[in-house]
Structure 1
Amino acid sequence: MTHVFYHVPFQLLKQCVGLYLPISSCFKILGKYMINIILNKEKELKSILQDFFFKGYHRNSKPEFRNFYDEEVFQVACQIYKRGFTQNQQNFALNGNSLDINFVEKKQIIDILNKKASSKIFYIIDANFYKKYLNLVSAKKIFLYEASETNKNLESMTQILREISSDCEEIIAIGGGITLDISGFIAGICKLPITYLATSLLATIDAAVGGKTGVNFTPFGKNQIGLFYNAKEFYCVPEFFQTLPQIEIISGMCEALKHSWLYGSFDEDLPIFNDICQGEYNFINSIQFFLKHISYKMNIVNQDPFENSVIRSSLNFGHTLAHIIEALCEEDRIKRIPHGIAVAHGMYFLIQNKYVENKSIKFINFLTQIIYLYPIVKYKGIYASEIEKYLKHDKKNINSFQCVLSLPSYACFSLNEVRNKNQNILKIFNSMDFSILASQYLNSF
């Protein structure tokens, strides 16, 4: 078999342009094409995606077309597998990479949402959040999403897709990171503009920024299926954070902790981190803190919007072990912990095992406090072979025998300077060696 790449949707888009249709009309045609394939050929799509995983494809692979594949389904699979093979992902990332960020008060967001109550706007709202704020949205077209890692999958995505009417002109997603991830993916499929209202600290600092969208694909891991697709607007209401459980606030803080490593601002941020840990931080007066950490992430994303070089991979610092922890949680091997805390464990593990040099004693001491407060609680022993199984599908890896880790040095980024693209952030290790150390770490609790 030869390695081929079909460009059915892209050719369709070029035909639209040739007919002098407005860009918005071209996008709608492209969106309807994608929706039709996903809703009517879901079984074939899952089969091809599973085949890609079994073949061990990474993002730089050239997928092999097989005679029993449906050509159109194959093309869609190529676009959404690990957010698209690098050879043609730009064909579907058509909405630019700018983001209008707005920090507003609760009464302001109610007014804004009331003005967006058109019948042509579709809302995807975290069901638990909606119960707390019943009067926030007066729109009629609402899908209440039960946000959980277990429910973040293709089945939930297709269920929501079936509810979106053909005359829909915009999607508004209200919720935390899980809700924004799946909603952004749906918007990318439909080729509709999407507005995010982030209701958690984690979503504000991480999920709402950067255009990564996606769902999990069992048993192959977290966020394995998706698209790069940016929101057009992003709203944040710090008042909402006041009602979050402390563990969720700490989870969001841990992503900011990662940014403070990348930009060398940990000492500067330490008083705020301490206040957050002690439950004493006033989020209503925290706009500058949020904006700084959003600018950290956007600075990296703008240099590498499609994660085609090592630059954006720096944001994966600590995420290799974190994603394994989350996968083990889904298998009920480990008690569930939020994403940010899993990332804290991932960073702590890398520093303690000297994968990366730590030049800040204060940083590791603070991390140790987080690990002590939120340890791994396992239900059964974790074997290295189990970790290696998940490691095989890590998006950074090129083959199943290696482990590619993101190991950025402390303060390797600056908002004032564009980093050297040749500076090495990714380093390769033997996957079994990493798996043994990781299993020892998890079993040490």
Structure 2
Amino acid sequence: MLESTEHALLRRIAREQATSRAPSLVAAVVRDGEIVWSGGRGRVGGEVPGTDTQYRLGSITKTLVATAVMRLRDEGLLDLNDPLERHVPGTPFGAATVAQLLSHTSGLTSESPGQWWERTPGADWDALAGSLADGATKHRPGAKFHYSNVGYGVLGELIARHRGKDWLSVLNEEILGPLGMTRTTPHPVGAHADGFAVHPFADVLLPEPSPDAGAMAPAGQLWSTATDLGRWTSFLGGHTGGVLSPDTLEQMRTMVTVDDTDVWTTGFGLGLMLVRYQGRRLAGHTGSMPGFLAASLVDPAAGTGALVLANSTSGVGITPLALDLITMTDELEPRLPAEWQPSTVDPALLALTGLWHWGPTPYHLRIQGDGLLLLAPAEGPGRGSRFRETDKDTYLGLDGYYSGETLEVGRDSDGVATHLDLATFVFTRTPYDPAAPVPGGVEGWR
């Protein structure tokens, strides 16, 4: 990157480390699947931390666990609407669905009963499940957003039962290994930062413990480096490396529930935190454990993301810092639009393009460069969606109002397209064309 850009980014993290009094901090920016800038401030073992220094990820661990669950779904081993009872029988909260556990709408208690789980050694699944026998469900499943660390302990057990091995082994084999994230581990290995709490009224530190969380570990156990987290941030931006299909990742990045009211700024999809900021829609997650804070956010549309790792229990504005790094990068070094190039189009498909009408309202049907169809109002806002061909003259809605709905092309005896049937709505070449099967009939204009 330009020297001036690198200096501006370094100054931003330097200001954060100084004003937040973080013992150390590492940050990086990714673009198009690669780290394009990184920087560190403070000291770890007397040295400035680098991209190979491990920090604890906290709840970013959940995004990897969610990915393993979605892989089970894609293999047909479960459905997101399945109740937990079908996969982990015998719990008093078995009515909650897999999707609700992923999106923090299961109603489960936020923390495991007993001692503060983040600072004490955890027990096994049987002990965790036993502790949840009474009062584990705080809200009706599906009623509202209620962040649940316990829900991800449950999902870790679900993964283990399907794969016949512990959740961490599954992550190593199916996700971390294929993506080359070799420095992401359950406990620190090699160069790593120790976790500290910073006294609120003095510049002194208190070492924080980092025990194994046992059955609660899927909620926040993992340690990682800026290099590995850069790969994961790129993954969430779309560079999935074959670990997950683009369609599944997009489903994970789709809003399920909001974390605030009115005009939402944060919410959750399936295992991913979603943030709306200055016209951007970002996906990722933040993390906190005693002694550590972390953030990983990416703007899939821009292809730019950022990550932050710090060894402080609180005080560091990790989310605003990550958002600033993304915004500054795109403002200081704006991307050039991709060059337009012509593409090959099936002549039969080309014949479908152009003007159609939903009743009296004009729509345009276009073929995008990626081969998808886009049906949208000719002007102004309205119901618009992209469509992918699933069979001859049959298309599936991918987003917008018609997501999941079927569009079928109607033809006359000569094979000429006369109308589009979209979830029973009939689109015609002219407004209410009497030659097309418009429900209710067409008496003619007067």
Structure 2 length-normalised TM: 0.24
User: Whose strand proportion is higher, 1 or 2?
Assistant: 2
Structure of greater relative contact order (alpha carbons < 8 Å, 6+ residues apart): 2
Greater radius of gyration (CA): 2
